[in-house]
Amino acid sequence: MIIKNLKIEKVVFKGLGLGFDSDGAIFVDNSYPGDLLDVKVFHKKGKVRFAKIQKIIKPSHIRKKAPCEVFGLCGGCDWLDIDYSNQLKLKQDIMQEIMGEMGAIQPIIGSEEPIYYRNKSFLPVSTKNGKPIIGIFQKRSHVVIAHKDCKIQPSIYDEIVTEFLAYIEAAKVKIYDEKTGNGNLRHLGFRKSAANGQIIVVIVTKNRKLPFTKQLIN
């Protein structure tokens, strides 16, 4: 079902944009106050509908181009297409609405590192056109979306991913298939210490053995 010319009034809990038509409330992914949109409803719960953007007729004044080639397709983050100051304002508005008449909340304190901040990442491994890929699941799916430069994790993680992909191809490592249960390699994980900068690389497999592990470690 397509709904035309829906105006987003505000952003609410879970970061969803909220608009209204004659039938009631509509919650829209990745939308902001002031957006004028055509949206497609994908779920209905009672009188409440949930939708995703079909077309942006008039964008909110706070929208900007996201600094990521797969933003909106990858499910790894939200709000990368608005400035951090606007992210904090929306969070403040959401929290104030949740607290309601209990009183005003103190201003939210922003992070000193709004990008490249995540110390833990676990990335699924899959294949595309016969080639191994490592990335993040698309929202509401297990389709893996590869990226070149994730803005929410340390850039060295992506450098390691590039090296690891070369190893997968050279060693002909079998990628695990969720549908059939065949294959071995499932995820590549990272943890980084804020204290000393050391990184742990975690390889998640179905079986205990991988080929050419000494070369991989080197």
Neighbours of 9 (CB within 10 A): 14
Burial class of 27 by CB neighbour count within 10 A (0 to 12, 13 to 18, 19+): buried
Tell me, what's the pLDDT at 77?
Answer: 93
CB atoms within 10 A of CB 96: 13
At residue 102, the pLDDT reads: 87
User: How far from each other are the two terminal CA atoms of the chain, in whole angstroms?
Assistant: 54
Do 146 and 133 touch, CB atoms closer than 8 A? yes
Q: Is 84 left (phi over 0), alpha (psi -120 to 50) or beta?
A: alpha
Residue 175, strand partner residues: 185
**pLDDT, position 177:** 94
**Predicted local confidence at residue 100, as pLDDT:** 86
For residue 175, what are the CA distances in angstroms to 26, 138, 165, 215, 218?
Answer: 40, 18, 11, 19, 22
How far apart CA 49 and CA 24 sit, in angstroms, is 8
Digit-by-digit pLDDT tens for the chain (218 residues) are: 999 999 999 999 999 999 999 999 999 999 999 999 999 999 999 889 999 999 999 999 999 999 999 998 999 999 999 999 999 999 999 999 999 888 888 999 999 999 999 999 999 999 999 999 999 999 889 999 999 999 999 999 999 999 999 999 999 999 999 999 999 999 999 999 989 999 999 999 999 889 999 989 88
Bridge partners of 26? 19, 49
Alpha-carbon span 14 to 120, nearest angstrom: 22
Q: Is the dihedral of CA 92, 63, 142, 166 positive or negative?
A: negative
Determine the 3-state secondary structure of 57 from DSSP.
Answer: strand
Q: Are 165 and 172 in contact (CB under 8 A)?
A: no
